[in-house]
Chains A and B, each alone.
Chain A
Amino acid sequence: MTNILIIDDDPYILNLVEVTLKDSGFFTYKAIDGFEALDIFEQTPIDLAIVDVMMPKMDGFTLTQKIKNMYHIPVILLTAKGELHDKEKGYISGTDDYVVKPFEPKELVFRIQAVLRRYNNLSNDVIQINDVKIDKRNYEVQIGNQRMIMPLKEFELLALLASRPNQVFNRDYLIENIWGLEFEGDERTVNVHIKRIRQRLEKVTSTIEIITVRGVGYKLEVAS
């Protein structure tokens, strides 16, 4: 279970974020200012913090800095539109991502998942095969000066295949590693994803190709 601490002085936003995150399966804690947040940190193991920038007593940048100094966890900043120029300040304070208010609940959940995954996969950040660079830090595939972003599941599938080029992965292994054990879909889901990755890749490069190994699974082949 992932524990997320939400810090915002606006009770409505606090509740909205809480409900959204609970629906997505996270466990949530709430704090209305920085001091309360630091108290909670001392009592509970927190996996990720969502911090509002504009807060009384202690602003979000200061709080982010304190959290980053004491705990090794990701932080996402909530900023109002006018504070966008504080982006740099946010990154200097150590934040991992920022979300501009007003935001879609789904947007926030997506960012949380992306940041958490990045934190759990700190090894092999970048995979380079020929001219193709797969960057796990920002979920981008780079070919020459072209960059591509794709749905997270497709990216992870590609990154997994690319982590061991020319090695065959069977479908069950892929499902377990990308979708998790509790995945209820069937192997066709994997097929659809592979098909889409192929279509996307063939537009931008010919140096790597995903090959179907009949009856077994898939492998990423590197053109010589």
Chain B
Amino acid sequence: MMKSLYTKFLFITLLIMIASSLIGFFIANSYYQNSLKPENDSKNMEIVTGIANYAETQDDLNQFFTHTASTGYQLLVVNQQGDKEFYGGQFDEKNLPTKAIEKVLNGDSYHGMRDFPKGTFVTGFFANELQNSVGVPFRHNGTQYALFLRPNIKLLFNELHILLGWMAFAIFILSLIAVLIWAAILIRPVRQLSHATNEIGENGFNVNLDIHRNDEIGQLAQNFKDMTSRLEDLDEVRKSFVSNVSHDIQTPLLNIQGYSRLLKNSTLSDEEKNSYLEVIQEETERMSILSKQLLTLSSLEPNSQSYSIKEINISEQIQSLLHKYYWLINENELSLTYSLEDITVKGNPDLLYTVWENLLTNAIKYNEPGGSIEIKAEKTNNQLAIEFTDSGVGIKSNEQSQIFDRFYRGDSARTRTNQGTGLGLSIVKEVIELHEGNIYIYSQLEKGTTFKIIFPRL
């Protein structure tokens, strides 16, 4: 189930508002409880003292208190007999303890506001309770009275309440609308991107993405564009690679099919049979090499697998290679001179072995009977150099830049062989570059070829 970003934004905004108002209330409340309450109490105490002093000089108490209450106070006057008289706005709860009244009648003052119990969800300021008042004694015509006072919050603050309420409501609604609009602006390019992604799946890489922004989303869009163009390039490479591979698999298969069909014919001479079998053999060998090389290539893809990295003794590796190919050198009537200094390179042994194997078999394959091969491994102060030189057919200068391309094959009429897959040297180059080395070619037609590999010395 996909939840739209809109609903998420809305929900989270509401959550933030509720949470922040709750937290704000708690902070304000605790501020009131701790600092404002005593202040409020003493302020009101001053007022009530003033009123009480003034009341002592009045003739008509009833009229005086009615007047005073109408300026915004709620009053309670208790006489010695305990008769209670309320003036002004009503208290919601008349919960003043009798003890407190007696105390005031006895001459003490009452700090109900200061001593109002702390409550998490109760703001003492707004609690319209008789308990939440201040009281002082006064005398009038020889009688002891107690006067309790509380500002009439309703009267004083009613309009302010409504005003604040509307303001909060307006802030609330406007914030929501603003969040929704902002979310829409934010989400639009995301939707565009998602749409573009789908388009790539359906219509290929030509996607028009019209996002120009300077923020992270703009960056994302730019990265997306870069990625699609890279993917497009890769796709090109892959397509031509696949078509090359399938061609290179098809050709030998067709040859094998064709020649094996010819072999069924019983009227063939032994010589013909042999030459047909030779074709089949060569073609199977080519396919075997091709499949091996494809495997090597796939292991060269970045991130395809983490190949093991070791210290490799190059001269040992080449010597064991020579041991393996001695028979082929013998068979082709070649000689091989080698001088190998102890060279170690950090890298993958199998991949590097493939490099030497490719270079050596090339040097054998493109050589003439009686020819020679020379292998040198030298280290200087800042580099390691490995050279494979043959006295073979050489490579035309206009072909030298192409021989490292995948599936490029030299002129087969000149090289007298169709054994190659066109992958060997491209593998060599890729492996060498993977090991931070470089490969150079020096070749002269009919004289021979040198492949020189240079690794930086670490």
Residues of A within 8 A of B (CB): 84, 87, 100, 104, 106-107, 109-111, 114, 139, 144-152, 154, 192, 196, 199-200, 203-204
Contact = CB atoms under 8 A, between A and B. Distances in A.
B337 A203 contact: yes
Contact of B335 (A104, A145, A148): A148
A151 B338 CA distance: 15
A10 B329 CA distance: 29
13 contacts: A87-B320, A106-B327, A106-B328, A107-B328, A145-B339, A147-B339, A149-B329, A150-B334, A150-B335, A151-B333, A152-B330, A196-B370, A200-B337
A144 B370 CA distance: 23
A110 B327 contact: yes
A148 B336 contact: yes
Contacts of B322: 149
Contacts of A152: 330
Nearest to A199: B370
B372 interface: yes
B105 to A, nearest CB: 107
B375 to A, nearest CB: 10
Contacts, number: 60
Contacts of B339: 144-147
B326 interface: yes
B84 interface: no
Contacts of B336: 148-150
Interface string B313-327: 000000010101011
Residue of A87, A147, A152, A154 most packed against chain B (CB within 10 A) = A147
Contacts of A203: 337, 372
Contacts of A145: 339
A87 B326 CA distance: 18
A110 B338 contact: no
B60 interface: no
Contact of B327 (A104, A147, A199, A200): A104
A114 B331 CA distance: 13
Contacts of A111: 327
A203 B333 CA distance: 17
B360 to A, nearest CB: 12
Contacts of A151: 329-330, 333-335
B331 A106 contact: yes
Contact of A148 (B320, B327, B337): B337
B284 to A, nearest CB: 12
B337 A204 contact: yes
Contacts of A147: 337-339
Contacts of B335: 148-151, 154, 196, 200
Contacts of A106: 327-328, 331
A139 B326 contact: yes
Interface of chain A, helix or strand or loop or mixed? helix
A196 B333 contact: yes
A114 B335 CA distance: 16
Contacts of A154: 335
- Pairs A-B, 6 closest by C-beta atoms: A110-B327, A150-B335, A146-B339, A107-B327, A148-B337, A200-B335
B324 A110 contact: no
A200 B372 contact: yes
A17 B76 CA distance: 123
A107 to B, nearest CB: 4
A149 B337 CA distance: 6
A204 B337 CA distance: 9
Given A100-B324, A200-B372, A110 B330 contact: yes
A224 B451 CA distance: 38
Contacts of B334: 150-151
Contacts of A114: 326
B292 to A, nearest CB: 10
Nearest to A87: B320
Contacts of B337: 146-148, 200, 203-204
A151 B337 CA distance: 12
Contacts of A104: 327-328
Contact of B331 (A110, A148, A196, A204): A110
Contacts of B338: 146-149
Given A104-B327, A107-B327, A149-B326, 7 more contacts: A106-B328, A110-B327, A114-B326, A148-B337, A150-B336, A151-B333, A151-B334
Residue of B322, B324, B335, B336 most packed against chain A (CB within 10 A) = B335
B274 to A, nearest CB: 14
Interface string B367-384: 000101000000000000
Contacts of B370: 192, 196, 199
B213 to A, nearest CB: 55
Contacts of A110: 326-327, 330-331
A84 B322 CA distance: 15
Contacts of B320: 84, 87
Nearest to B319: A147
Nearest to A114: B326
A139 B327 CA distance: 12
Nearest to A99: B324
Interface string B54-89: 000000000000000000000000000000000000
Nearest to B337: A148
A112 to B, nearest CB: 10
A104 to B, nearest CB: 7
Interface string B329-364: 111011111110000000000000000000000000
